[in-house]
Structure 1
Amino acid sequence: MKSFLIFFLFALPSFSSVLQVQGFDFFYFVLQWPGSFCDTGKQSCCYPNSGKPASEFLIHGLWPNNNDGSFPSNCDPNRSFDSSEISDLINNMDAEWPSMACPSSNSYSFWAHEWAKHGTCAESVLNEHDYFKAALNLKEKADGILQMLSSSGIEPNDNSYSLSSIREAIKGGIGYTPVIECNQDESGSSQLYQVYLCADTSAANFITCPYFPTESCSSEIKFPSF
């Protein structure tokens, strides 16, 4: 009996750590149109300390998700964001993953939020550096979205376009059907806000989305300038 208790006590920590491992089935890679972030009337937007971002889709996040639509979040409160771990990525992240929230900032608090809420749930496959690097690599793969839309006559010029044409233009360029999220401008018009693409659990390649949430768009949506 004594030997059993000793074995149990030694086994308990490893068993506990297994319970804390968060599983997931795929990533949502989410890109945001800055013109729509700034054009809602409900919030202000501020350019980051690095200056006005380029007129392109910017990274919002890389989010572990499950096939049933559920998702893990805030998986390891003891694993805080450490900017020194991504020092070689900062210049790239300033350009591709800036914070547009007010007041203006160096974007570190935004990245810290994304790491705490989403990145810590992917630690079983990606450490902090690999997590942010993987998002930047996916952005490079999807960097032509604005050109894909432009090639289909869809421009960020405050005009409205069919939701289906936007979806098909991106699918034609990426090879996978995106999920489109809309918000509303100051007048209440539905506008192109975010593009969701799905990636495998290593965040290395795009895949067919296992789960499609209900899109928040009307059939015709505005594409605001920035």
Structure 2
Amino acid sequence: MKSKGSLLIKLLIIQYLSSLFVAQNFDFFYFVQQWPGSYCDTSQGCCYPPTGKPASDFGIHGLWPNNNDGSYPSNCDPNNPFNQSEVSDLMSSLETNWPSLACPSSDGISFWTHEWDKHGTCSESVLDEHDYFQAALNLKNKTNLLQALASAGINPNGESYNLSDIINAINQSDGFTPSIECNDDESGNNQLYQVYMCVDTSGSNLIECSVSPTGANCANQITFPAF
């Protein structure tokens, strides 16, 4: 009896520790969208998905749990890998709004698998797999970055714009200050690449960021390339 009791206690301890591991705490999400023109015109290049060239619009990169001290959890539950059947009703929207531009050409499954396994599993305490991807799609519709920039006369035409004007345009539209990440095209021009918005732990509401992402690498003047 003693050995059975000891085994039960050990199993309960393991179960408790496992629950802590899966339901890691985090303070907010980064909702990250990328401009396909800036992804594709680097020396690395890009590959369109089998469905063809994506729309000339910002695409979702990910919804990433983060902490106020700048750290972030990752790969929180290897026992709950991406399951395509869980998001079967979202496939069309994911293909449109969350396309993969990586090479070789991909239908997006590997991209979404990576995002769920690395980031999504760390939000399981509030969002299951379907809710996680639905939350990102909802945020994409809510922010509408391309329209926000166009309303301020900022268009993807290869022209140069003030970084502060880009930030202000998004702030005026959505009510919160974004962080902008830049990269360089093949000619070395600094350009608008990714937009980070902060979201509360429900995955639903934009909030003001408590910490900025590292590695923004933006000049005061950046280009907004065509796609």
Confirm or deny a common fold (TM above 0.5). yes
Instruction: Give how far 1:142 is off.
Output: 1.0
Q: Report the 3-state secondary structure (helix = DSSP H, G, I; strand = E; otherwise coil) of the residue aligned with 1:72.
A: coil
- 1:159 and 1:7 mapped to 2: Cα distance? 67
Displacement, 1:210? 1.4
* Aligned amino acid, residue 209 of structure 1: C
Residue identity opposite 1:191 in structure 2? Q
From the superposition, tell whether residues 103 and 5 of structure 1 become closer, same or farther in structure 2 (CA, over 3 Å): closer
Deviations 1:136-167 (A, max 9, x none): 01111012x11221121111111110100000
Q: Could you say what secondary structure the match of 1:182 adopts? A: strand
Q: Show structure 2 runs of 5+ residues with no match.
A: none
Residue 139 (structure 2) aligns with:
138
Using the TM superposition, give the Cα deviation of residue 10 of structure 1 relative to its aligned residue in structure 2, in angstroms. Answer: 5.2
Name the CA shift for 1:5/1:100 in 2 (closer, same or farther; >3 Å): same
In the alignment, which of 30, 33, 40 is matched to residue 31 of structure 1? 33
Aligned to 1:147: 147
Structure 2 partner of 1:122: 123
Which amino acid in 1 is paired with 2:119? H
Superposition deviation, residue 107 in structure 1: 0.7
Compared CA separation, residues 37 and 13, structure 1 to 2 (3 A): same
Structure 2 Cα separation of the partners of residues 104 and 10 of structure 1: 45
- Aligned equivalent of 2:226: 225
Distance 1:131 1:18 in 2: 19
Unaligned runs of 5+ in 1: none
Distance 1:7 1:69 in 2: 39
C-alpha distance in 1 between matches for 2:75 and 2:11: 28
TM-score normalized by the length of structure 1: 0.94
Deviation at 1:44, TM superposition (A): 2.0
- Displacement of 1:23 in angstroms is 1.0
| Alignment map for 1:144-223 (pairs within 5 Å) | 145-214=145-214, 215-223=216-224
Aligned equivalents of 1:177 and 1:130: distance in 2? 25
Q: Deviations over 1:38-92 (max 9, x none)?
A: 0111x12111112211111110000000001100111112211111110000000
Amino acid at match of 1:88: D
Q: Identity over aligned residues, as a percent?
A: 61
**Structure 2 partner of 1:93:** 94
Question: What is the CA deviation profile of residues 162-216 of structure 1, one whole-angstrom value per residue up to 9, with x for unaligned ones?
Answer: 1000000000001000000000011111100000001010101101111113431
Q: What value does the CA root-mean-square deviation take over the aligned residues?
A: 1.6
In structure 2, C-alpha distance between the alignment counterparts of 1:88 and 1:4, rounded to whole Å: 46
